[in-house]
Structure 1
Amino acid sequence: MTLLQTLGLTYPIIQAPMAGATTPELAATVSNFGGLGSLGAGMTTPDALSNQINTMKTLTDRPFMINLMVLSEHDCTTLDSAVPAWLSQYYQEKDIDIDLPKRPAQNFAEQLQVLYDNPVPVASFTFGIISAEHVQRLQQLGTCVIGTANHPLEAQAWAEVGADAVCLQGMEAGGHRGGWLAQGVADPLGLLTLIGQTRACTDIPLIAAGGIMTGQDIKAIQTAGAQLAQVGTAFLTTDKCAINDSYKQALLDASHGKRSTETRLTRLFSGKPARALINDYLRDFTAFDDTDTLPPYPQLNAMTKTMRAEAVQRKDAEYQSLWAGQGVALVKQESTIELLERLVQGL
């Protein structure tokens, strides 16, 4: 049975689970169309997550996916690094009071419990790997389990714990890198290379993510050996996406030649590598984009949150995290349905 059949999809398209950008309405639109809509729930409280799942179940009777960030109890609760001097100086110069939370991230164990108590058709995981026991428990509840990998060794690890599929995220992808092994950080692999190397070492069904913007891109990754395409950046400028207007305009400006389409993998926003459009923040502080000196994820993410939120209020894209993949030049201002119809033409 193919992954398309296993997941009950009409089209080989997954809308990427972009935390902060996805909504039940966006995900349901994709699912009702025949793809797999998803919610990036890594930053969502357990109560809100349960409510969102209930909303999804009222908006669609088709399969949908919930994505969680795998973080240890220590990662979720520890905020013991000092705010970097350059960031502290920025807050002082802008007369902004930094508002640090008591904990830098949501409790992953509590979020996972929501998926046990309120089962969903598909659950995917990023930033780490769950145990075989967790995989089996989800599968026993009728949930299909999908891992995320930036390196073939991570894909192998997901196969070994019994996951139903793995999403291979090439270096072209926007937003945070989903893997956890040092090998995937040291030498990021392009998507087609990643697919080829992974197919050589495991037969787990593959989903491809990174730079996929057209129906032709989908056919290319299928030819390479992936069964489904996970599309993210293309959805950011559609009507159902939840990103703010200044972020959306920056993406559209890049596609219209009004700003550079250059993106960069950076740790400066969160402490974890993530691909974003170049803006003033990345230019101003590029000298500090160093693994050895930056606080780790999610601590730095908590430290820059006030800056990013204040920039959103000012409608200033230059100090927001403008997550975008290398296909950003092809984004369009369109409805979610229009994008989906374009993607499936000729498939």
Structure 2
Amino acid sequence: MKLLDQLGITYPIIQAPMAGGATTPELIAAVSDFGGLGSLGAGMTAPAALNSQIDMIKTLTERPFMVNLMVLSDQDASTFDTSMPDWLTQYYREHHIKAALPDRPAQSFAEQLQVLYENPVSVVSFTFGIVSIEQVQRLQQLGTCVIGTANHPLEAQAWAEIGADAVCLQGMEAGGHRGGWLPESEADPLGLLTLIGQTRACTDIPLIASGGIMTGQGIRAIQASGAQLAQLGTAFLTTDESGINDIYKQALLDTSLGNRSTETRLTRLFSGKQARGLVNEYLLDFAVFDKKDELPPYPQLNAMTSPMRANAAKNEDAEHLSLWAGQGVTQVRQERAITLLERLVQEL
């Protein structure tokens, strides 16, 4: 069965599950109702809130939608075992920002996953790690399709071996956090078409492609290379239904208007894990510290920089926000999600 039919969608378009409030129920429902696959980025969402959001989406659409979780161990999600970097402490002191840390750096993955056992959805995807074969089978027994995320062919193979229904290949062009977990995926980041080709040569698991795709022509290109569906993130960030704040949204739009540098960069400075975003003052000012061995790991650094990002949002300061964006960012438009979707389908 083709992946399009297995997921119950009409068009080969998945709206990427971007955590942090970007993927509102309204955006998800708009994409799913159109015939694509809307997705909830729930990796940073408390279990009770996740359950409520799933219920809300189910009231807005009867079509399939996806929920995405970040795979974290209990130890990683619950423990601060590194100190805040001196340069970040100094930044908070100089800018009079109270840098109080939460009790734990991230939500409990086990508790989030339990929500999906008790309140099943059509599709679940995972990023930042891999689950067990038992967890895959339990979800599938509930009627849920399971999708893994990979930045390297070895990661895609690992998902195939535990029985995942598909793998989303995330090329180095993609905005936001890289979803892989093996050292190989960090050492030599692969472009999307190269990643598709190398993965296709070692496994026949159905593939979804993500990274820099902004047009129907881009979707056709990845299909010609061996992927069945395309997952688009940055293109949806500037739609009316997107939940990102106006400062972030305007920074993205400014790249398309020639009012801001279009340079993006893979960085660990915001969270401790590689992620691609627009270059701003924060990335430039602290670039010397952007080294894996010198930074607290994810999710600890992510929690440590949260007060800075919250203060930046409050003060409408795009230069200290994490402006996640893929390399296709100059093609964003301010429009309704359905307008974007109609254009993509017309271009197919």
The answer, yes or no, to whether TM exceeds 0.5 is yes
Q: Following the alignment from structure 1 to structure 2, what is the Cα–Cα distance between the partners of residues 248 and 239? A: 10
Aligned counterpart, 1:136: 137
Does the 8 A contact of 2:66 with 2:123 survive in 1? yes
- Letter of the structure 2 residue corresponding to residue 10 of structure 1: T
Alpha-carbon distance in 1 for matches of 2:237, 2:317: 17
Partner of 1:284: 285
Match of 1:175 in 2: 176
CA contact (8 A) 2:215 2:347 kept: no
Aligned residue number for residue 234 of structure 1: 235
Offset at residue 108 of structure 1 (A): 0.1
Q: Is the 8 A contact 2:271 2:297 kept in 1?
A: yes
| Structure 1 residue 346: Cα displacement | 3.4
Given residue 146 of structure 1, which amino acid in structure 2 is its aligned partner?
I
Match of 2:199 in 1: 198
Q: Give the secondary-structure state (helix, strand or coil) at the position aligned to 2:189.
A: coil
- Most deviating of 112-121 and 337-346: 337-346
- Give the structure 2 partner of residue 7 of structure 1: 7
Residue 261 (structure 2) pairs with residue 275 (structure 1) = no
- 1:2 is aligned with what amino acid? K
Q: Corresponding residue for 2:153? A: 152
1:100 alignment partner in structure 2: 101
In structure 2, the residue matched to 1:340 is 341
8 Å contact kept, 2:263–2:279: yes
Q: Match of 1:17, as an amino acid? A: P
- Is 2:321 the partner of 1:309? no
Deviation of the 1:271 alpha carbon: 0.1
Give aligned-pair identity as a percent. Answer: 76
Task: Look up the equivalent residue of 2:268 and give its one-letter code.
Answer: R
Paired AA for residue 214 in structure 1 = T
Matches within 5 A, 1:189-268: 189-268=190-269
Deviations 1:61-119 (A, max 9, x none): 11000000000000010112110000000000001110200100000000000000001
- Identify the residue that residue 123 of structure 2 maps to in structure 1: 122
After superposition, the C-alpha distances for 1:280-316 in whole angstroms (9 at most, x for unaligned) are 0000000000111100000000000000000000011
Partner of 1:18: 18
| AA partner of residue 9 (structure 2) | L
List structure 1 runs of 4+ shifted beyond 6 angstroms: none
CA contact 2:247–2:317 (8 Å) conserved in 1: yes
Q: Which amino acid aligns with 1:135?
A: V
Q: Deviations over 1:181-232 (max 9, x none)?
A: 0000000000000000000000000000000000000000000000000000
RMSD, aligned CA: 0.5
Distance in 1 separating the partners of 2:255 and 2:85: 30
Q: Which amino acid aligns with 2:252?
A: L
Q: Distance in 1 between matches of 2:10 and 2:266?
A: 34
Return 5+ residue gaps in structure 2 as ranges: none
Deviations 1:228-281 (A, max 9, x none): 000000000000000000000000111111111100000000000000000000
Task: Provide the C-alpha distance between the structure 2 equivalents of 1:138 and 1:233, rounded to a whole number of angstroms.
Answer: 29
- Per-residue deviation, residues 29-71 of structure 1 (Å, max 9, x unmatched): 0000000000000000000000111111111111000000000
Letter in 1 for 2:5: Q
Which residue of the partner structure matches residue 48 of structure 2?
47
Q: Distance in 1 between matches of 2:192 and 2:64?
A: 26
Q: Distance in 1 between matches of 2:328 and 2:99?
A: 34
> How far apart are the structure 2 equivalents of 1:154 and 1:168?
9
Q: Tell me, yes or no, if the aligned pair for 2:25 and 2:57 is still in contact at 8 Å.
A: yes
SS at match of 2:66: strand
Distance (whole Å) between structure 1 residues aligned to residue 60 and residue 237 of structure 2 = 21
SS at match of 1:50: helix
Q: Distance in 2 between matches of 1:246 and 1:57?
A: 30
**Aligned equivalents of 1:219, 1:345: Cα separation in 2:** 12
The residue aligned with 1:29 is 30
Distance 1:154 1:263 in 2: 25
> Could you give the per-residue CA deviations for residues 128-178 of structure 1, whole angstroms, max 9, x where no partner exists?
000000000000000000000000000000000000000000000000000
Give TM-score, length-normalised by structure 1. 1.00
Secondary structure of the residue aligned to 1:292 is: helix
- How far apart, in 1, do the equivalents of 2:268 and 2:110 lie? 25
Q: 2:346 is aligned with what amino acid?
A: Q
Match of 1:64 in 2: 65
CA contact (8 A) 2:12 2:230 kept: yes
- Aligned residue number for residue 80 of structure 1: 81
Is the counterpart of residue 111 in structure 1 residue 112 in structure 2?
yes
Distance in 1, matches of 2:326 and 2:138, equals 34
